[in-house]
Amino acid sequence: MTLDTQRTDHDADNGFSLVPVLAALTRARADWRAAHHRATTPGGRELPAPETVERIVAGLRGALFPMRLGPSDLRQESEQLYVGHTLDVVLRDLVEQVVLELGGRPNDADPAQRAEIRGRAHALVRDFAQYLPTIRTQLDQDVLAAHGADPAARSVDEVLLCYPGLAAMIHHRIAHRLYRLGAPLIARMISEAAHRATGIDIHPGATIGAGFFIDHGTGVVIGETTVIGDGVRLFQAVTLGAKSFPTDALGRALKGHPRHPIVEDDVVIYAGATVLGRVTLGKGAVIGGNVWLTESVPPGAHVTQAGLTRGPRPGPGTD
């Protein structure tokens, strides 16, 4: 039975057919593909699959913290076996997604090109796998920073299992490495999965030092070229964004130019603060709640809505 003749009782009762809808969608896809020089020959999908990428991240979370974020029935005597098997599966899956990002469809005609892309994908994932112990160490420091800074945190396990800021940082540490290695689309998919789950929006290009803590977290935005030092603490609804950016002759934004803040070591930024542009917040500075800041701040300074002051750092924020 063809689509031209297949009609349900529901269709007949309501007087509509899918035939013109399908025809219009076909034209829209063809127009888009032609405008963006996309492949029109038969073959598999051209880009990584979001559900596969999220499954890879779930496996990496379990492999990094097997007895906390791994399967509920895991026992310590089988921990090593679980980690090895999980990494074997998810890294193989990651290779296939990287192949797609690099432009290698399964049915592409040029075998030499397919082999070259697959070789690049294998090298990228191999380098990523070698970096996983560093990611685990970075995340351990993030957990300790949260536990040490938040009086409401009863244990490091609570931080790991419950804190949205730590969940966002697990995604970010993974995504940032893939971004640097040359898989920016997959990295962005990972960061957006964390954004949906936590309300914390960290671009995978942002560079974040050790012992980073986002308290509460909802509404935090950290832009692509942000550089954050060690021991930095942010509260909810903080924006580290761009004030302006260069454009080309057609008014299109130029990519990759530094346009977000540099936050030096031990800075604290309280809830609702907005810091825009390539400004520097000096070491140990404290930015008060709801401050709008577009200029650099010297080390040790305290910025509030009332103005710039120097003096002892204020106490912890609300829990």
313 pLDDT tier (thresholds 50, 70, 90): low
How large a percentage of the chain has pLDDT more than 70?
89
More confident position, 107 or 122: 122
Calculate the alpha carbon distances from 206 to 161, 166, 229, 240, 310 in Å. Answer: 24, 16, 11, 10, 29
> Which range, of 11-15, 152-156, 166-170, averages the lowest pLDDT?
11-15
For 208-248, the pLDDT digits (tens) are 999 999 999 999 999 999 999 999 999 999 999 999 877 88
Residue with tokens 């040490």: 148
Query: What confidence score (pLDDT) does residue 138 get?
Result: 98
Q: What is the mean pLDDT of residues 22-27?
A: 95
What confidence score (pLDDT) does residue 46 get?
Answer: 84
Quote the DSSP letter at residue 254: P
Q: List the structure tokens of 314.
A: 């204020």
Residue 125 token pair: 């994932």
Cα gap 113→210, rounded to integer Å: 40
**For residues 302 and 313, is the Cβ–Cβ distance under 8 A?**
yes
Q: 312: which residues sit within 8 A by CB, 6+ positions away?
A: none
- Asked if residue 9 has pLDDT above 70, the reply is no
pLDDT (0 to 100) of residue 315? 56
State the pairing for strand pair 227-228/262-263.
Answer: parallel
pLDDT of residue 256: 79
Residue 1: per-residue pLDDT: 37
| More confidently predicted of 53 and 253 | 53
State the first-to-last Cα distance of the chain, in angstroms, to the nearest integer: 63
Q: pTM for the whole thing?
A: 0.88
Backbone phi, psi, residue 240, to 5°:
-110, 90
Q: What is the pLDDT of residues 117-134, one digit of tens each?
A: 999 999 999 999 999 999
Where is pLDDT greater, at 40 or 222? 222
What does 170-227 look like in DSSP terms, one character per residue? HHHHHHHHHHHHT-HHHHHHHHHHHHHHHS-EE-TT-EE-SS-EESS-TT-EE-TT-E
pLDDT confidence of residue 5: 45
Neighbours of 290 (CB within 10 A): 13
Burial of residue 40 (CB within 10 Å: 0-12, 13-18, 19+) is exposed
pLDDT at 318 over 70: no
Instruction: Count Cβ atoms below 10 Å from residue 318 Cβ, excluding itself.
Output: 10
Q: What angle do CA 293, 294, 299 make, to 5 degrees?
A: 70
* Between residues 114 and 151, the one the model is more confident about: 151
For residue 287, give the nearest of 234, 236, 228 by alpha carbon.
234
pLDDT tens-digit series, residues 88-105: 999 999 999 999 999 876
Sheet holding 262-263, edge to edge: 207-208, 227-228, 262-263, 280-281
Domains of the chain: 44-199 (1.10.3130.10), 215-319 (2.160.10.10)
pLDDT at 7: 53
Nearest to 310 by CA among 281, 283, 286, 289: 286
Bigger pLDDT: 312 vs 169: 169
Tell how strand 268-269 and strand 286-287 pair up. parallel
Average pLDDT over residues 274-294: 98
When pLDDT is cut at 50, 70 and 90, the band that residue 84 belongs to is: very high
What is the structure's pLDDT at 2? 46
More confident residue, 50 or 310: 50
pLDDT of 6 over the 60 cut: no
Average pLDDT rounded to a whole number, residues 190-202: 98
Q: Where residue 14 falls among pLDDT bands split at 50, 70, 90?
A: low
Distance of CA 287 to the CA centre of its chain: 25
User: Where would I find the beta strands (DSSP E) of 143-295?
Assistant: 201-202, 207-208, 213-214, 221-222, 227-228, 233-234, 239-241, 262-263, 268-269, 274-276, 280-281, 286-287, 292-293
* DSSP for residue 74: -
The secondary structure of residue 309, as a DSSP letter, is E
3-state secondary structure of 206: coil
Tokens found for residue 158:
């609570």
Highest mean pLDDT: which range of 4-8, 12-16, 41-45, 311-315? 41-45
Is 14 buried (19+), middle (13-18) or exposed (0-12) by CB count in 10 A? exposed
